Amino acid sequence: MERPVTIEECVRETVTRYLDDLNGEQVNDLYNMVIQQVEKPLIEVAMKNCMNNQSKAARLLGINRNTLRKKLAEYQI
């Protein structure tokens, strides 16, 4: 299988594989689960890229610094 080249393709492939692996089992709250699984590493990478400077990371992410702080606490980053 060819490797996905965009984030969109990676998400599509991963979610499809996840649902296939469930083999018909019921899944609930998929949206929130995916958002959390994507948001935490996204914030971690942004913080590392900005050398833990919250203002720079918030700008990189396109979110308010207070929102970033809330997310850092929520994910215990």
Q: What is the CATH number for 33?
A: 1.10.10.60
4 is a domain residue: no
Closest CA to 43 of 62, 26, 27, 24: 62
Taking only the tens of pLDDT, the chain with its 77 residues reads: 677 689 999 999 999 999 999 998 999 999 999 999 999 999 999 999 999 999 999 999 999 999 999 999 999 99
Q: State the residue range of the domain holding 70.
A: 29-77
60 touches 49 (CB < 8 A): yes
Q: Is residue 20 part of a domain?
A: no
Work out how many domains the chain is built from and give that number.
Answer: 1
Q: Tell me, what's the pLDDT at 1?
A: 65
- Can you give the pTM of this predicted structure? 0.82
In a domain, 12, yes or no: no
The burial of 46, by beta-carbon neighbours within 10 Å (0-12 exposed, 13-18 middle, 19 or more buried), is given as buried
On whether residue 9 sits in a domain, the answer given is no
User: Residue 5 has what pLDDT?
Assistant: 83
